[in-house]
Chains A and B, each alone.
Chain A
Amino acid sequence: MYVAVKGGEAAIDNAHALLADARRGDRSVPEIGTDQIAEQLALAVDRVMTEGSLYDRDLAALAIKQARGDLIEAIFLLRAFRTTLPRFGYAEPVDTGALRVRRRVSATYKDLPGGQVLGPTFDYTHRLIDFALAAGVEPPPPPEAPVAEEAARMPRVTDLLAGEDLIEREARPADDAPVADLTRAPLAFPADRDLRLQALARGDEGFLLALGYSTQRGYGRNHPFVGEVRIGTVEVGFVPEELGFEVPLGEVVVTECQMVNQFVGSAEVPPQFTRGYGFAFGQSERKAMAMALVDRALRADELDEERTSPAQDEEFVLAHADNVQATGFVEHLKLPHYVDFQAELDLVRRMRAEIAERRERDANKEAAE
């Protein structure tokens, strides 16, 4: 005899209790602290803050812990928290030219004002598993950089090019121009560049990486050079309406990538370099670079280029870049669908029966003839 499927509520509660237990893991192993995550898994925290659109290291570290290290789940947690926060205004634009630089590299010039600053990077490491880390060997104290006399003098490469008029000029929008915000207004197409950049900044690193990569392999090629990648600390300012002047909100660590791309020119515009722009919280170099490639690819219409490839297709890219949306919809397939499946079963059975009937009829007819 059939017992109707019951007890969903108790099952859910039990599943969540199991989750909490699995999250803790073997109790003989010390529990990880969120401070350890924030300090020692810093790049995971950076990614979660970037795609979660919320700059809060402690909260991101907690989200990573709660998500058992599943970064997309952690991003989701941060987003769901963010949506409940009051919105009291928009920050002033940050001046990345005034970044207190921890790392800055350019692929277009061997040397340049401010120099190449490698900073903490995986680049040029040999990817050999370091067993000393497992043994818990303390690293030697870091090398001290000589105090730079002209720390502030690190002009952006794109500004150097602009001095020669070799790169496109970007019109500075009016100070009171509205800022697109896809967390407050539904995404609509065609999208302007501010909205596209916001969507890309929140977009999934893996998705943007693959799209950026595809432009390098001929699907919307845009001849990129890394004009500059810079990582550093910058102050965020805000003008409260009741005060009327800017007050500092705090400092954030950011990564900026300015791609310099070839452009052959058009009837109106002489040949010049064009820009692709990437920006992320923390040290998120891969994300910023991929974003810059995709930003440039999405400017196809604006630059009179033929749109032939996925990375140039605004609706395709923007509609699928958000991993919180993507993971939700992909994973919802595990929800029950038996009502719809029943409807399909019924149709398939009916159509198969009709075909079998027809075959039989034909066979009988042949036999009779």
Chain B
Amino acid sequence: MSAAVATTSTSDSTPAALETGYNFAYLDDQTKRMIRRAILKGIAIPGYQVPFASREMPMPYGWGTGGVQVTASVIGPSDVLKVIDQGSDDTTNAVSIRKFFARTAGVATTTRTRAATVIQTRHRIPEEPLAEGQVLVYQVPIPEPLRFLEPRETETRTLHALAEYGLMHVKLYEDIARHGHIAKTYAYPVEVAGRYVMDPSPTPKFDNPKMEMSPALQLFGAGREQRIYAVPPYTRVRSLDFEDHPFTVQRFAEPCALCAGTGVYLDEVILDDRGGRMFVCSDSDHCEERRAAGHRGTMLADGTVDGETTDA
């Protein structure tokens, strides 16, 4: 992928020494070609899980090996990479993966969503709307949305082939009958381009609407499970629901305590053992940008609170 978005190189750390003895972005070209084929097939059949011969990576399975292989196969020297985990650039695994690419590919890295051409993520979609030319790479633990309803791969592949998704609808219906809600708050299943039911990875369902008609290319890599799938730009992505129980997203009662942002996903932070808590943006870059723009939450270290006078 080439840098389609105007960027300034916003490397967030001193450039790491390039790892010698390995190919650009670690994987050998044969492997990259095999993975690119799988990606192209995935793009051609939106939401379909393409098997690929996942390689052992120098990080453990379950820690983003699928996403890393996809990123390694699409990234080029001119790309700018952002890596987030739980919405934040500074969580340990995000730091580790960003370092890996800085070291094996020597690419520029950034924490700014807008500046990135390739964004690898675990569990979140950035709050900042993505643009054409950006690639969002999801790390996927269990790619099969039907897995916990049917453990057998031979069965689930047949169900997908027949577009037989009754099991899933019954599960969602039973949730409503039993709990009054669909008890699925993350990895909420979606239907892609009117055909395949797909697992959006364990993003909170709050993020599901961001997938719909996104101008960015969305790629999903599951290393341990050896699957790649994709949602091409401007593709319909519908969260499964019922007419009388339409899909809704989580709402938070209060704004971000640091940037006063609303309509964003918040993390709960426990402050003490007496029930004290605060809510802050899960997307750390979004939060920082808002603060840099002058927004002030109630618990930000310096003075004025947003909301009463300026916009919230």
Interface residues of A (CB under 8 A from B): 1-2, 4-9, 11-12, 76, 79-80, 82-84, 86, 183-190, 315, 319, 324-325, 327-332, 335-340, 342-347, 350-351, 354
Contact = CB atoms under 8 A, between A and B. Distances in A.
Given A9-B13, A329-B224, A324 B186 contact: no
Contacts of A350: 181
Interface in B1-20: 13
Interface in B108-141: 122-124, 141
A84 B56 CA distance: 9
B55 interface: yes
A340 B63 contact: no
Given A336-B91, A351-B180, A188 B51 contact: yes
B85 A336 contact: yes
Interface stretch (B159-167, B200-208, B233-241): B200-208
Given A2-B258, A347-B185, A183 B53 contact: yes
A339 B56 contact: no
Given A83-B57, A332-B60, A336-B85, A342 B52 contact: no
Contacts of A354: 180
A339 B86 contact: yes
Shortest Cβ-Cβ A-B pairs, 6 listed: A328-B61, A332-B62, A328-B60, A343-B185, A329-B62, A186-B51
Interface string B274-300: 000010101010010000000000011
A324 B154 CA distance: 23
Contact of B90 (A5, A84, A344): A5
A59 to B, nearest CB: 15
B123 A2 contact: no
A75 B289 CA distance: 44
A345 B269 CA distance: 12
B61 A325 contact: yes
A187 B226 contact: yes
B254 interface: no
Contacts of B87: 339
Interface stretch (B39-47, B73-81, B94-102, B212-220): B94-102
A315 B179 CA distance: 33
A190 B141 CA distance: 23
6 contacts: A8-B95, A76-B60, A84-B26, A325-B224, A332-B63, A339-B186
